[in-house]
Amino acid sequence: MRAILGLVVVSLLAAAALAIGIVYCRQYRQARRQYEATLTATPCQLVVASGVAGEVTAPYLQSSRLAHGVTLYLQAPADLPLAMDTHEDAYQALGGAFGSLTLRQGDDIVQEGDLGVEFRAEIIHAEDVKWLPVGSINPTLPLGDYTLTARLASPLAALAERPLHLVARYNCCGLEQGPWRMALAIALASLTVFVILLWPVASLARQVWRQGHAPACDGDGILYLLTAYPLWSETFLRLDLRLLQRRNLPIHAVALYSGDTALKPDWPLVRVLSSAPAPRGIAARSGSGTGIRSVLARLLPKWLRAQWSLRSHRNLLQGILAECRDKRIGHIHAEFADLAALLGVEAARQLGCSFSIGIHAFDIHACKYPPRRLFGEASFITVCNEAAAEAFRRRCPWAADRLHVIHHGLELKQWPYVERVECEPCLRLLFVGRLVPKKGVHILLKALSLIANTDLQAVQLTIIGDGPLGPALRRQAERDGLSKRIHWKGVLDQEAVKECLRQSSCLCVPSVIDANGDRDGIPNVVTEAMATGLPVVGSQAGSLPEVLSAETGWPVIDLTPENLAAAILEMASQPDERERRRKSARQHMDYRFNARKSIEVRGRLFEQAVAGGRGGSRPRG
């Protein structure tokens, strides 16, 4: 139903654009013809004998109001012995007012004036004649027929008794071209909009046709759809996928693009549809692409951006459809409200199967596609933190009843609790994550500099991860004299990260909300650190308050380098309080972040969706 409504609305917009274009095309042709006719029109022509004083009368036709003036020109032959190339020359040759003119309509005098050189109008130089402006007539007169009388006060000796040809002409400039140029611009803009709208009209028409002819879906498989795989930072998705597969659910995992790291032997296998790496903005889970296509896409309305993406990635959509038919898929689930979700919901519509989606942080705070298109037909929506859930409820209240908050969690037996953490003789700080603006690593470096300058504590910082800000952060460390205190580890596997957690004094999480609205959900490394008993010092950005409080770590309410440094030093100086909060954090993980408990809830949602599909239910619309 929504697709039909969209088709009607977009078709009406296209028809309106076409109608406006046709109307203004006609107006352009009319205005252009009127302008050109005004340029060539001669309202009046008369001939006066220059050798004797006298008068002559001729009809005057006011046929246009387009001009800003009407000038009476004297046609002077080019072979006159007297030079009249400038207004001054003509004035000296002809004198001042050498005659008069009278314009009548019937017996009424409409205008009177002098015959003399007009300095406000230009002299027109032709091959064999000069046009000297010698009078002006009001251009705002009502259209109609008039009578023009020209009188010579005395003979004009300068013209050697030749006949005096007087011609009236309209004066036009760029302003008079405004009406037809404006009409042309509106016509072209309207027709351009019409051509642009033909694309979504055709796409929506195909969608409506496919929905009407879609076969009933009788498959029982589940397509678990990712945009890129594997991504180093998304350990939570790999864990969820592995645990879902262990429940013997008929899950077939597919990714659109290959990720940013090599596949490890113990990671779940995922079929990758495209051998090309994911575009930068897609892989980063943000709209930060800098190519011309990415810039243009960000300027488009969300509904048109969705059509653009479907058109640009139609080969991937066909690959998803082929995979669904081959594996008898009855339900499609996409993680992140990004390209995979857009293609997944379109594939579900064409196949007549159910659809669900998992959202996290940036993908709802700054969703780049229309929420109704992504979530309107979803059987259920999962979200892994309360901040993103609250944002979803505000933006999509019509889908709030289908929203389920399910934390990703950990397999806690793989993250054993370390009985004691020492902060002496050296304070060993740790950061784990992508080097991107929302992680706030530049604030951590400034805090490290403050701690190092106190001389109260020997301090070292280990940074695990990589990203576009890596070179800039290294330069910042060198400028601040921190190079010897920082160990840049780059991307490490999970076992190496575990070892760093065991050897560190605390985990630092200086997260912020960046200029694009990107923010953290609950970073997986925070739950991993708390599970092992590693103290956590961090900000309250994004969803961190859900896990990091004064009971489970050292939250920094107002994140500044000074406040972050003070919190780190406070943690290091309070061994008893450190032990209390470490144990409380582990208990919090046992209660709310146990992946085995969370996966049971996810598994039941998938089972209900597949069972509903076998029962003949269709996605909501």
pLDDT in tens, 179-188: 888 888 998 9
Biggest CA pair distance of the chain:
125
Q: How far apart are CA 203 and CA 311, in angstroms?
A: 9
Separation in Å, CA 532 to CA 240, 291, 410, 590: 20, 42, 11, 11
This prediction has a pTM of: 0.65
| pLDDT at residue 370 tops 80 | yes
- In 3-state terms, what secondary structure has residue 139? coil
Looking at residue 323, its pLDDT comes to: 92
DSSP 594: B
Question: Contact, 373 vs 355, CB < 8 A?
Answer: no
Quick: pLDDT tens for 223-281: 999 999 988 888 888 889 989 888 888 999 999 999 888 888 888 999 999 877 777 65
Query: What proportion of the chain, given as a percentage, has pLDDT over 90?
Result: 41
- In 3-state terms, what secondary structure has residue 337? coil
The winner for highest mean pLDDT among 31-35, 148-152, 570-574 is 570-574
| pLDDT at residue 49 tops 70 | yes
| pLDDT at residue 198 tops 50 | yes
Looking at residue 217, its pLDDT comes to: 57
Quick: pLDDT tens for 381-410: 999 999 899 999 999 999 999 999 998 889
What is the residue whose two structure tokens read 């076998």? 614
Tokens of 96: 């001042």
pLDDT band at 220 (very low <50, low <70, confident <90, very high): confident
Tokens of 112: 């009177």
Looking at residue 456, its pLDDT comes to: 65
Looking at residue 96, its pLDDT comes to: 77
Looking at residue 207, its pLDDT comes to: 67
Question: Contact, 323 vs 270, CB < 8 A?
Answer: no
Question: Contact, 353 vs 329, CB < 8 A?
Answer: yes
| pLDDT at residue 576 tops 80 | yes
Q: Which residue type, as a one-letter code, is found at position 409?
A: G
| pLDDT at residue 43 tops 50 | yes
pLDDT band at 285 (very low <50, low <70, confident <90, very high): low
| pLDDT at residue 85 tops 70 | yes
Closest alpha carbon to 67 in 46, 94, 39: 39
pLDDT band at 616 (very low <50, low <70, confident <90, very high): very low
For residue 1, count other CB atoms closer than 10 A to its CB: 8
Closest alpha carbon to 147 in 17, 51, 32, 59: 59
Q: Which residue type, as a one-letter code, is found at position 579?
A: E
Q: Under 8 Å CB-to-CB from 20, ≥6 apart: which residues?
A: 186, 187, 190
| pLDDT at residue 621 tops 70 | no
69-77 vs 129-137, strand pairing mode? antiparallel
Looking at residue 618, its pLDDT comes to: 41
Closest alpha carbon to 40 in 168, 180, 175, 177: 168
- Region 70-88 average pLDDT: 75
| pLDDT at residue 619 tops 50 | no
Looking at residue 68, its pLDDT comes to: 81
| pLDDT at residue 290 tops 50 | no
Quick: pLDDT tens for 462-475: 999 999 999 999 99
pLDDT band at 606 (very low <50, low <70, confident <90, very high): very high
Looking at residue 64, its pLDDT comes to: 85
Separation in Å, CA 264 to CA 261, 281, 413, 493: 9, 24, 20, 9
Tokens of 542: 């994004």
Tokens of 419: 């009985």
- Region 536-542 average pLDDT: 94
Q: How far apart are CA 144 and CA 369, in angstroms?
A: 61
What is the residue whose two structure tokens read 């029982």? 220
Q: How far apart are CA 86 and CA 134, in angstroms?
A: 13
- In 3-state terms, what secondary structure has residue 78? coil
Separation in Å, CA 154 to CA 66, 74, 75, 390, 495: 35, 16, 18, 94, 113
Of 129 and 575, more confident: 575
Q: How high does pLDDT run on average in the chain?
A: 85
Question: Contact, 529 vs 500, CB < 8 A?
Answer: no
- In 3-state terms, what secondary structure has residue 334? strand
403-405 vs 380-383, strand pairing mode? parallel
Of 65-74, 320-329, 433-442, least confident by mean pLDDT is 65-74
What is the residue whose two structure tokens read 């010092």? 537
Looking at residue 494, its pLDDT comes to: 87
- Region 490-499 average pLDDT: 91
| pLDDT at residue 537 tops 70 | yes
Question: Contact, 535 vs 421, CB < 8 A?
Answer: yes
Specify whether the backbone of 445 is left (phi greater than 0), alpha (psi in -120 to 50) or beta: alpha
Of 5 and 538, more confident: 538
| pLDDT at residue 295 tops 60 | no
Query: What proportion of the chain, given as a percentage, has pLDDT over 70?
Result: 90
Q: Under 8 Å CB-to-CB from 586, ≥6 apart: which residues?
A: 417, 530, 531, 533
